[in-house]
Amino acid sequence: MRKSIAIILLSTALVGCAAQARSDVQAVDASALAADNKSGEYRLDTGDRVNIVVYGEETLSGEQLVGADGTVTMPLIGNIPARGVTPRELAAKMQTKLADGFFQNPSVTVSMVAYRPFYILGEVNQPGQYEYAVGMTVRDAVARAGGYTYRAQQKQVLLKRAGSEQEVKVRLDKDLPIQPGDTIRIVERYF
């Protein structure tokens, strides 16, 4: 009898601790995050690799990494802010600067070479940093990380978007798209 009461009290305390630990995590509908993902063009940030082509100027063309300060560096015009702009907007900025005293009617294009990575933690077989690919979902991310462990909660994840301080709990009733820089945490299931 005492053993049964102790087990009940212990399991109640564990469930209470688990609920208390997650009370600061906001729950969000997966469809709201998916809609947010389709809201616009891709925005550059630290870790993205772009290919810059200045037509007719091979010495100015080549691959660039968006640096920790959020800029790319080009000869003649120096550091150009790239964080938060689309590749098309970055090309327009470069074109404007090159036209200001260096070239007549320069033509610049910027294309993506590699996106910044995403991170997956918790109850997966190989947690860590992985290369992002266009159209990735949580299911794809879990597969890249070697699949779920036997303890994994497979019906919800904790997701933190790049640039956000808040981790949100997302129910996986639909296949949730992820973005470069996202941190996905697969939590342990209880019972």
Residues 109 and 135 in one domain: no
Sheet of 168-171, strand order: 26-28, 168-171, 156-160, 183-186, 118-122, 128-130
Whether the CB-CB separation of 134 and 128 falls below 8 Å is answered with no
Which strand ranges, in their side-by-side order, compose the sheet holding 108-114? 62-65, 49-54, 108-114
- Residues of the chain above pLDDT 90, percent: 64
When pLDDT is averaged across residues 49-72 and rounded to a whole number, the result is 94
CB proximity list for 71: less than 8 A, separation 6 or greater: 79, 80, 81, 82, 83
Query: Among residues 186, 179, 165, 169, which one has the least CA distance to residue 120?
Result: 186
pLDDT in tens, 105-132: 999 999 999 999 999 999 999 999 999 9
Q: Answer yes or no: is pLDDT of 33 > 60.
A: no
Cα separation, 188 vs 153, whole angstroms: 5
Boundary residue ending a domain (99, 114, 129): 114
Counting the structural domains of the chain, the total is: 2
Whether residue 125 is contained in a domain is answered as: yes
**Which CATH number covers residue 129?**
3.10.560.10
What pLDDT shows up at residue 26? 55
2 belongs to a structural domain: no
Asked if 33 and 120 sit in the same domain, the reply is: yes
Spatial neighbors of 149 by CB under 8 A, at least 6 apart, are: 123, 124, 125
Domain CATH code at residue 60: 3.30.1950.10
Cα-flanking dihedrals φ and ψ of residue 169, to 5°?
Answer: -90, 125
Pairing state between β 156-160 and 183-186? antiparallel
Query: Exposure pattern of 155-171 as b/e (b: 16+ CB <10 Å)?
Result: ebbbbbbbeeeebbebe
Inside any domain, residue 3? no
Residue 131 falls inside a structural domain: yes
The Cα–Cα gap between 79 and 61 comes to 15
Q: Which domain holds residue 98?
A: 49-114
Kindly state whether residue 143 falls inside one of the protein's structural domains: yes
